[in-house]
């Protein structure tokens, strides 16, 4: 049997939200926000890495979608010396 409820659950994921900027601060501690978590109800949270890790299981359980800030410039710093 087909149910219209199942169709609702399979609704397409909304477009990627705006990239986080330096002005976006963790909802919990005020540090630079590196991850935006969009919940199924449409509201979103922004958090630093620390708090994202801390709440990750609950957020995943709540059906949150994680959008990590583009930190290519940070990664570059860490791989200094790698001439690849
Ligand atoms: Zn935080």
CA 33 to ligand 1 center in whole angstroms: 7
pLDDT at res. 70: 79
* Distance (Å) from CA 60 to ligand 1 centroid: 17
pLDDT in tens, 26-62: 999 999 999 999 999 989 999 999 999 999 999 999 9
Task: Please indicate, yes or no, whether the overall pTM of this predicted structure exceeds 0.75.
Answer: no
Q: CA-CA distance, 31 to 47, in Å (whole number)?
A: 8
Closest-CA residue to 64 (of 72, 51, 49, 52): 52
Range 35-42 contact pairs with CB under 8 angstroms and sequence separation of 24 or more: 35/66, 35/67, 35/68, 35/69, 36/66, 36/67, 36/69, 37/64, 37/65, 37/66, 37/67, 38/14, 38/64, 38/65, 38/67, 39/63, 39/64, 40/64
């Amino acid at each position: 049997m087909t149910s219209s409820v199942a169709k609702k659950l399979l609704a397409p994921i909304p477009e990627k939200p705006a990239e986080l900027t330096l002005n976006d601060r963790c909802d919990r501690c005020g540090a630079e926000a590196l991850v935006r978590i969009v919940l199924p109800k449409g509201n979103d949270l922004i958090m630093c890495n620390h708090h994202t890790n801390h709440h990750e299981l609950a957020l995943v359980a709540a059906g949150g979608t994680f959008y990590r800030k583009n930190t290519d410039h940070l990664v570059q710093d860490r791989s200094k010396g790698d001439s690849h």
